[in-house]
Structure 1
Amino acid sequence: MKTFVASLALPLLAAAAPTSQTSSSSTTAFGVTAIRSGSPIQYATLNASGQKFYLGGSTSSYCPSEIVKDCPPGTQTAIAPGGNALDVEVPGGQQIYVDPTGAVSFTQAHSASMPAGSVQGGFTFETQGDATYWLFKGDGLLACPTSDNLYQVFAPVDNLKVPSGNKDDCLGFSARGIPYSDAAPAWQYS
């Protein structure tokens, strides 16, 4: 575990992360709900918007209705089986990665482009008892407040640069997976 996580994030994550995990071999997509008891993010839903993830706000999606017949509603965010991509219909999909600031991000549709220094992979769905959690390299995630009263999702990494400029403003949380069994909820997220 990195020094930053041990010194700053570990106390936050200890209360939020599951204590024992086993790999989930599920072929199920998941929506994500934040678990952080007694906090403003308790039961907040994970939303994809602006190529980042937030607790609160709304999902932002797009579908070229002039080309695609029967566009999905695009109002929910779901993570594809395995945890490293979004559950979308767009050819080529949309990959999830951690950008150089530590922000959990996703690629634009039709592109695999990521900023230099980004970390691709490392996300998994892990099962503990009856619950499934979305983790980054075995750790829970961080929710950091933004100026518009949302919480942006970050991975617990050394080079963390949060919206407020103060890492202590962030809350560690468990990202509980809620099975999503319908067709992909969006053509693409934007």
Structure 2
Amino acid sequence: MFTKTLLISTLSCLTIAVPVEQRQTNPNVFSMISTHSGDSSVHLRSIVASGQRFYIGKPTATYCPTVENLDCSTVGNTTSVAVTPNSSSGLSMNVIVPGGQSGYVTTDGQLGYTIAHSNAKPEGSVSAPFLYIPQATPNTVGNLQFNAAGFEACPCNETTGVYQIYAVGGPAFVRTDCTGINIATSNSGTTTAAWQFT
């Protein structure tokens, strides 16, 4: 009896001494920020998902269904994506909708993403190569490229101050009215950005 009591007391002390594992951040999930020094219309502006494309100057477009056992307050409405670092892989939206949503570049260079529950892309679109170089140390930024090239912020004629994001490395990018930008990345950690982007 004494041995059992001693053993249980010892084990309970050991259990208390074991640290609780901290939830790790995912270095592959990040938000995107446009940079172009000297041009305040596109410099240090958030890049958001809206209408299966990416923009500066629009609000993020998300949807979360009202269904039993789904608490939409646990997901956000900010744009973040995931790419495997230092590899020529595809881009995924940071969502929890079954089947996910993936990124692509259209033949004319538009940076876009699939609708929920479908992997359909516009004809001629390509899903790779996206190259993500993560931030090297805290308080710095990473970088996103497509096909070894940068991106352009192209004005949307219907709305002042709104720019659509194009990949210069797209198969047939020809616009000449755009501003060259770098897409800086900032780690988004463990938070799921949305149920789905619309």
Give the TM bin, normalised by the shorter chain: 0.7 to 0.9
Alpha-carbon distance in structure 2 between the residues aligned to 1:68 and 1:122: 37
Paired amino acid for 2:172: N
Evaluate the alpha carbon distance shift between residue 67 and residue 48 of structure 1 in structure 2; reply closer, same or farther with a 3 A threshold. farther
The answer to whether structure 1 residue 175 and structure 2 residue 183 are counterparts is: yes
Q: Quick check: 1:47–1:77 contact (8 Å CA) kept in 2?
A: yes
Query: Which residue of 145, 157, 163 corresponds with 1:135?
Result: 145
Alpha-carbon distance in structure 2 between the residues aligned to 1:67 and 1:145: 41
Q: Quick check: 1:144–1:154 contact (8 Å CA) kept in 2?
A: yes
Shift of 1:183: 2.3
Evaluate the alpha carbon distance shift between residue 176 and residue 160 of structure 1 in structure 2; reply closer, same or farther with a 3 A threshold. same
- TM-score, normalised to structure 2, is 0.74
Task: Give the aligned partner of residue 75 of structure 1.
Answer: 77
Q: Quick check: 2:81–2:92 contact (8 Å CA) kept in 1?
A: yes
Alpha-carbon distance in structure 1 between the residues aligned to 2:75 and 2:146: 28
Evaluate the alpha carbon distance shift between residue 128 and residue 89 of structure 1 in structure 2; reply closer, same or farther with a 3 A threshold. closer
Indicate the SS of the match to 2:48.
strand
Shift of 1:73: 4.6
Alpha-carbon distance in structure 2 between the residues aligned to 1:55 and 1:136: 18
Matched ranges for 1:44-83 at <5 A: 44-67=45-68, 69-71=70-72, 72-82=74-84
The answer to whether structure 1 residue 122 and structure 2 residue 132 are counterparts is: no
Evaluate the alpha carbon distance shift between residue 67 and residue 49 of structure 1 in structure 2; reply closer, same or farther with a 3 A threshold. farther
Alpha-carbon distance in structure 1 between the residues aligned to 2:98 and 2:33: 27
- TM-score, normalised to structure 1, is 0.77
**Which ranges of structure 2 fall in alignment gaps of 5 or more residues?**
1-25, 85-89
Alpha-carbon distance in structure 2 between the residues aligned to 1:100 and 1:122: 14
Alpha-carbon distance in structure 2 between the residues aligned to 1:35 and 1:185: 22
Higher relative contact order (Cα pairs below 8 Å, separated by 6+ residues): 1
Task: Map Cα deviations across residues 78-134 of structure 1 (whole Å, 9 max, x no partner).
Answer: 012426111101111101001122100100011000111111121121147543111
Q: Quick check: 1:84–1:124 contact (8 Å CA) kept in 2?
A: no
The answer to whether structure 1 residue 152 and structure 2 residue 164 are counterparts is: yes
Query: Which 10-residue stretch deviates more, 127-136 or 41-50?
Result: 127-136
Q: Using the aligned pairs only, state the percent identity.
A: 33
Evaluate the alpha carbon distance shift between residue 100 and residue 68 of structure 1 in structure 2; reply closer, same or farther with a 3 A threshold. farther
**Which ranges of structure 1 fall in alignment gaps of 5 or more residues?**
1-25, 162-166
